[in-house]
């Protein structure tokens, strides 16, 4: 999930990375109030998940109310590279002396984060020759490394000290929020030699979103996820082909991680919750059936408040009504687990004594069938 600029800056602010004063709106009436609160001049910035906004006229300076009346609706209607404007950010102009570039991205091939920095910012990094590239581990960037990067792009004194702080805070974002990319471009050096993040880009790993409820406010909720919430259980769509079902967020999370470690690709996180009924579980299976990417279902269930027989009954109903047409790999333990196994004998549900066995068999069969 790529955050919009104002969302990325909200995250920066949470980590005390300095950002310009600004307000976000989706209509001109609120925009006028924001303009009055901010004071002229300022920049009007279209919020969309693409680059090249400046060249496309989706970022413009605004010096007075007359300009605002013309430019706000114009920018609100902008479409850049097929992306419509989702909101407008009004932001105070900065007194800039120099622009830098700074980013960290997840280098999957080398299993590390890579820092890229440059003394030239405000342009696409691919076109910048003066780059400093440093591979670091998957943890936080240490002070020594941050200082070395800052010095290599010519920073010193107050500016270097603040750069080190910002790089380390950006590193914390990538680690704690499981970001694939965190970028500040440009990172402005102001006339007083302080630093300010003028633009921001953050991309969060979609398959990690279920671990970050605090980021869900930035995510568009799918129709299926909305239906799940109304039905009383949690569903988060992911990119893979194996639905993961369980009771309890912790159990489902650990199952997702184990599936990924064994080469499986989760298609969704589905927690039926502690108050699940047969109807609730049946509705959950119905929603899974609407995900055409799902080629198998992995169930990890501990019978306690929710009896395993409740879940087994829902599966039997789903088979009878032809809701499920993919293989199911299940591990059930706890209350009435033995009875549940008997109930599901002869169905497409394959029962296993351990979740490891269930995962191994699921990965082999689903990958074999594509």
Q: Is 183 considered catalytic here? A: yes
CB atoms within 10 A of CB 190: 15
* SS3 (DSSP) at 174: helix
**Count of Cβ atoms closer than 10 Å to residue 192 Cβ:** 9
Angle at 270 between CA 48 and CA 274, to 5 degrees: 130
User: Distance from CA of residue 313 to its chain's centroid?
Assistant: 35
CB 88 within 8 A of CB 62: no
Which entry of 6, 23, 72, 101 is annotated as an active-site residue?
101
Among the listed residues 5, 91, 99, 183, the single catalytic one is 183
DSSP, collapsed to helix, strand or coil, labels residue 227 as helix
Is 283 annotated as catalytic?
A: no
**CA quadruple 285, 291, 295, 301: dihedral positive or negative?**
negative
Q: Do 68 and 30 meet the contact criterion of CB atoms below 8 Å apart?
A: no
Non-local CB neighbours of 145 within 8 Å, separated by 6+ positions? 115, 134, 136
* H-assigned helices in the chain: 5-14, 28-38, 65-76, 143-152, 157-176, 223-231, 249-261, 278-289, 308-320, 337-343, 355-368
Integer Cα distance of 169 and 187 in angstroms: 14
Q: Give the separation between CA 117 and CA 210, rounded to whole angstroms.
A: 31
Instruction: Please choose, from the candidates 286, 268, 262, the residue with its C-alpha nearest in 3D space to the C-alpha of residue 362.
Output: 262
The C-alpha atoms of residue 305 and residue 160 are separated, in whole angstroms, by 56
Displacement of CA 92 from its chain's centroid (Å): 28
Cis-peptide, bond into residue 186, ω within 30° of zero: yes
- Residues involved in catalysis: 101, 183
């Amino acid at each position: 999930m790529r955050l919009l600029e104002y969302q990325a800056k909200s995250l920066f602010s949470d980590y005390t990375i300095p950002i310009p004063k600004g307000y976000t709106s989706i209509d001109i009436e609120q925009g006028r109030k924001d303009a009055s609160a901010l004071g002229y001049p300022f920049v009007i910035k279209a919020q969309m998940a693409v680059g090249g906004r400046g060249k496309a006229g989706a970022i413009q300076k605004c010096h007075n109310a007359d300009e605002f009346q013309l430019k706000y609706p114009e920018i609100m209607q902008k479409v850049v590279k097929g992306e419509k404007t989702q909101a407008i950010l009004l932001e105070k102009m900065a007194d800039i002396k120099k622009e830098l570039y700074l980013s960290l991205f997840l280098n999957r091939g080398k299993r590390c984060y890579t820092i890229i920095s440059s003394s030239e910012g405000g342009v696409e990094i691919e076109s910048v020759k003066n780059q400093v590239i440093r591979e670091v581990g998957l943890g936080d960037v240490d002070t020594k490394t941050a200082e070395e990067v800052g010095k290599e792009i010519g920073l010193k004194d107050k500016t270097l000290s603040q750069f080190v702080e910002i790089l380390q805070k950006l590193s914390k974002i990538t680690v704690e929020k499981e970001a694939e990319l965190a970028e500040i471009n440009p990172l402005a050096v102001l006339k007083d030699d302080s630093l300010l993040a003028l633009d921001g880009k953050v991309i969060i790993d979609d398959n990690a979103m279920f671990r970050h409820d605090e980021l869900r406010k930035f995510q568009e909720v799918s129709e299926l996820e909305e239906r799940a919430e109304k039905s009383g259980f949690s569903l988060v769509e992911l990119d893979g082909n194996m639905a993961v079902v369980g009771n309890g967020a912790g159990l489902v999370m650990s199952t997702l991680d184990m599936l990924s470690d064994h080469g499986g690709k989760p298609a969704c996180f589905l927690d039926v919750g502690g108050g699940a009924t047969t109807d609730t579980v049946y509705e959950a299976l119905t929603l899974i059936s609407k995900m055409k990417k799902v080629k198998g279902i992995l169930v990890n269930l501990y019978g306690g408040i929710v009896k395993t027989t409740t879940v087994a009954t829902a599966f039997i109903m789903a088979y009878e009504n032809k809701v499920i047409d993919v293989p199911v790999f299940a591990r059930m333990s706890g209350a009435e687990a033995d009875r549940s196994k008997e109930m599901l004998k002869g169905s497409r549900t394959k029962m296993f004594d351990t979740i490891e066995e269930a995962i191994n068999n699921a990965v082999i069969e689903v990958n074999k069938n594509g």
